[in-house]
Amino acid sequence: MKICRTIAGLKQQLGELRQEGKTIGFVPTMGFLHEGHASLMRQAKEQNEAAVLSIFVNPTQFGPNEDFDRYPRDEERDLELAEQNGMDLVFLPSVEEMYPRKPLTSVLVSGVTTRLCGASRPGHFDGVGLIVSKLFHIVQPDRAYFGMKDAQQVAVITQLVEDLNFNVDVVPCPTVREPDGLALSSRNVYLSAQQRSQAVVLSQSLQLAKEWIPQPGMTAGELVERVKNHIRGASGAAIDYVELLRFPSLEELSADAAINELPYTVILALAVKFGNTRLIDNSLYEPIGGVDHV
Ligand code: AMP
pLDDT band at 25 (very low <50, low <70, confident <90, very high): very high
Q: Is 278 in the pocket of ligand 1 (CB under 6 A)?
A: no
Is 269's C-beta closer than 6 angstroms to any atom of ligand 1? no
Residue 219 region by backbone torsions, left for phi larger than 0, else alpha for psi between -120 and 50, else beta: beta
9 shares a domain with 112: yes
How far apart are the C-alpha atoms of 38 and 233, rounded to whole Å?
A: 33
Residue of minimum CA distance from atom 19 in ligand 1? 184
What pLDDT score was predicted for residue 287?
83
**196 and 281 together in one domain:** yes
Query: Do 71 and 111 lie in a common domain?
Result: yes
What is the whole-number distance in angstroms between the Cα of residue 71 and the centre of ligand 1? 14
Q: Can you tell me the mean pLDDT for 8-23?
A: 98
Average pLDDT over residues 234-253: 97
The domain that holds 49 is classified in CATH as 3.40.50.620
Does a structural domain hold residue 181? Answer: no
Is 8 in the same domain as 150? Answer: yes
Residue 294 lies in a domain: no
Residue among 27, 32, 39, 40 whose CB has most ligand 1 atoms within 8 A, to mutate: 40
Are 84 and 205 in a shared domain? no
pLDDT at 293: 43
234 pLDDT band (50/70/90 cuts)?
Answer: very high
* Domain closes at, from 119, 152, 173: 173
Residue ranges making up the domain that contains 146: 2-173
Spatial distance between the Cα atoms of 268 and 245, rounded to a whole number of angstroms: 7
Q: Is 37 a catalytic residue?
A: yes
Same domain? For 20 and 153 the reply is yes
- Whole-model pTM: value is 0.96
Pairing of strands 143-147, 24-29: parallel
Based on the fold, state whether residues 104 and 161 are members of the same structural domain: yes
Please indicate, yes or no, whether residues 44 and 150 belong to a single structural domain of this protein: yes
**Residue 250, domain CATH:** 3.30.1300.10
pLDDT at 288: 57
pLDDT tens-digit profile of 30-74?
999 999 999 999 999 999 999 999 999 999 999 999 999 999 999
Ligand 1 center from residue 255 Cα (angstroms): 31
> What is the overall mean pLDDT for the chain?
96
Res 23: pLDDT = 98
- Sheet with 143-147: strands ordered across: 2-4, 89-91, 50-55, 24-29, 143-147, 169-173
| Predicted local distance difference test score (pLDDT) of residue 283 | 98
Based on the fold, state whether residues 198 and 151 are members of the same structural domain. no
Percent of the chain with pLDDT over 90: 97
End-of-domain residue from the set 139, 173, 207: 173
Task: Find the range with the poorest average confidence among 22-26, 150-154, 270-274, 286-290.
Answer: 286-290
258, pLDDT greater than 50: yes
Q: What is the mean pLDDT of residues 2-24?
A: 98
Are 116 and 215 part of one and the same domain? no
Domain count, the chain: 2
> Average pLDDT of 160-173?
98
Kindly state if the Cβ of 175 falls inside 6 Å of ligand 1.
yes
